Amino acid sequence: MALNFSKAVNRLFTATTPLLRLIIKLVRGNSSSKTLPVWATSVIYFLRKFYYARKIINFLGLNLGNFFSIYPINIPTITIQPNLDFLILELPPRYEPFVPNGIGYVYNILKDVNIRFQIIDVNIVFYHRYHSKRVLENISPFTTPDGYVMPNDPWTPTTAKEWERPEVLKYFMSQIEEVIQEISEKPPKAIGISVHGINRALSKLFVKALRERMPGIVIVVGGYDCVYREIGPRIFPDFDYMFIGETEMTLGTFIRDLTVGKKPKDLPGIISRFDSPERVWAEPPLLENLDSAGFPRYEWSDLGLYMNYAGNRIMPITATRGCKWGKCRFCAECFPFRKRSSRNVVDEIEYFAQQGIYSFVFNESDVNGEPQLLSDICSEIIRRDLNVHLMGQLRIDKKNTKEHFALLAKAGFKYLRFGIDGWTDKILRLQRKGYKMDLVLENLRNCKKVGLFSAVNIVVGIPGETEEDVDDMIKNLLHYSNYYDMLSQANTLILAGGSHYYKNPEKHGIRFRGDKKSIYEQHPYFVPTDLWYSTEPYIDQEIRVRRMDKILNELDKHQVAIGEAALDLLDNLKTRENELKQRL
């Protein structure tokens, strides 16, 4: 009962925005007037402030959510099997308590190879250790032994920067030492870790400490940090083997050779410290028939662990890989588009529904990269009469008709986020999005007509953007606000490695504070915001943050719901700007 009540409380918070929409609609009736009575404005103001009640509760130290948490639960100890050929670890953090989807596919590869291997999700163990201690001991704020005040939940997207702080790393490294001790007592032949932006710092400390204890251990790395061969070795240099991109076609043979004592080298898609000086790089072969990989079932872990401290759990799935459009100038997406069959995707959904998991998020760039595939998935869900809740990000598309959205709603879609990014025809053109605002309006209207919750996002500060463009974006955001429920994400432009802007800065008037070559060598993943700006007109990070602040303030004045992630990001950006100014 406590768990169900927890879900009810969570839903009450998140339902604020649709409730406001309903109140506004009832008050306005059929009138086209934008003016509301004073009493209605007061009610709306109160309810909008209630939307941020979680922050107030946390600030007051009430920990209301602790009363409705899932704890105590049985948190597994980290125990390593002896005589392993290959040990794979998922190190923290991973956003939310999601299953590690990529490692799920790795498991499918390794189970067909005749080796002894084990996969341990260290992240989920640490997640529940942290929150069970916080909740059961009623700790607020959570403070490390050295006195550092931790965030209430370090596993959210808005707290990612915490995992770069020495105090946070020191706290979790004390627990990592337990894992290293286990490894040293039962050494495997090789250890694999998945490395990405938010766990990179802790992963580096882990590898360093492990090598000090076990100098001869073989380290194999992969993950999002290893997508580009020019970038991966520079941001995570301490490895023996690095898999670039996908591994389905290369991992099996490699690990089989490695475990029989060979030292593989000069292999397609793999960088090794054993490679010949004269080797010629060859890209890894890509899996074209995604169905043949099978979907992950996570047999190696307890699915019951994958819920957050309030009892909510969502299963990530992917119907496609890569981006069908793949032309946005700010995006670093690099994989070619491929798809699974609708039947295979729904087989996965049905499998987990039978395990008691009913909420799914499509964890890909655009779930409608191929609209017909999405329609086929929904039709198959309906045919099988599966009672599931679905969410995902969509690209604006002329095939997003009212009938299409009605099919999505019938299949179980509840939440859709549109990656609009630009909010004028000019900005969309500069971002190279491939559509105009009239199609944006048509998509949002069609979605709203069938009652789906829709969120949108925005990217601020691209080269060529003017103050007049910002004003026009605000006008459009307000003009279209009856057709979306929330601005969920707002980001200033990131000069990300692999993006068009990163590869061709001169074409877009991007300049650097220092030597470009040395800056790229030091910052291959993305260029820090204080080291670059754009011209015609001049835009630096201070201007980007100011423009985002202006946009969010204007939306707030007009009772447009703004997602907590967008607000927290703006707060973090302001804090960072102030820190930079103080340093200067």
CB atoms within 10 A of CB 280: 6
Instruction: Determine the Cα–Cα distance for residues 146 and 555; give it in Å rounded to an integer.
Output: 41
List 222's β-bridge partners, or say none: 194
φ, ψ for residue 504 (rounded to 5)?
A: -130, 55
Q: What's the alpha-carbon Rg for the chain, to the nearest Å?
A: 24
CB atoms within 10 A of CB 357: 19
Instruction: Determine the Cα–Cα distance for residues 254 and 325; give it in Å rounded to an integer.
Output: 33
Contact assessment for residue 430 and residue 465, using Cβ atoms and an 8 Å cutoff? yes
Contact assessment for residue 7 and residue 311, using Cβ atoms and an 8 Å cutoff? yes
The pLDDT value given to residue 62? 47
DSSP string covering 325-347: S---TT----SPPEE--HHHHHH
The closest of 243, 235, 247, 189 to 216, measured between CA atoms, is: 189
CATH number assigned to the domain with residue range 314-583, chosen from the 4 options 3.40.718.10, 3.80.30.20, 3.90.45.10, 3.40.50.10480: 3.80.30.20
Q: Where in the chain is the domain with CATH 3.80.30.20?
A: 314-583
The pLDDT value given to residue 69? 87
Taking every pair of Cα atoms in the chain, the longest distance, rounded to a whole number of angstroms, is: 78
Burial track 403-413 (b if 16+ CB lie within 10 A, e otherwise): ebbbbbbebbb
The pLDDT value given to residue 454? 95
Q: Where in the chain is the domain with CATH 3.40.50?
A: 86-272
CB atoms within 10 A of CB 43: 15
Fold of 86-272: Rossmann fold (3.40.50)
Say which residue the tokens 């997640």 belong to.
127
Instruction: Determine the Cα–Cα distance for residues 188 and 116; give it in Å rounded to an integer.
Output: 9
Q: Are strands 218-222 and 413-421 parallel, antiparallel or unpaired?
A: unpaired
- Strands (E) across 129-254 are located at 190-194, 218-222, 241-243
The pLDDT value given to residue 39? 53
DSSP string covering 425-456: HHHHHHHT-S--HHHHHHHHHHHHHTT-EEEE
Q: What is the pTM of this model?
A: 0.86
Output the six-digit token pair for 89.
């670890």
Burial track 59-85 (b if 16+ CB lie within 10 A, e otherwise): eeeebebbebbbeeeebeebebeeebb
Contact assessment for residue 514 and residue 545, using Cβ atoms and an 8 Å cutoff? no
Instruction: Determine the Cα–Cα distance for residues 95 and 88; give it in Å rounded to an integer.
Output: 19
Average pLDDT, consecutive stretches of 10 residues, N- to C-terminus, the chain (584 residues): 39 46 48 46 47 46 60 95 97 91 95 95 97 93 93 90 95 96 97 95 98 96 93 95 94 94 95 95 93 95 94 94 93 88 98 96 93 97 97 96 98 96 97 97 97 95 98 97 94 93 96 96 92 97 94 92 81 70 62
CA angle, 376 then 379 then 383, to 5°: 135
The pLDDT value given to residue 95? 82
C-alpha of 521 from chain center:
26
C-alpha of 178 from chain center:
28
CA angle, 165 then 170 then 176, to 5°: 125
Output the six-digit token pair for 88.
């794979």
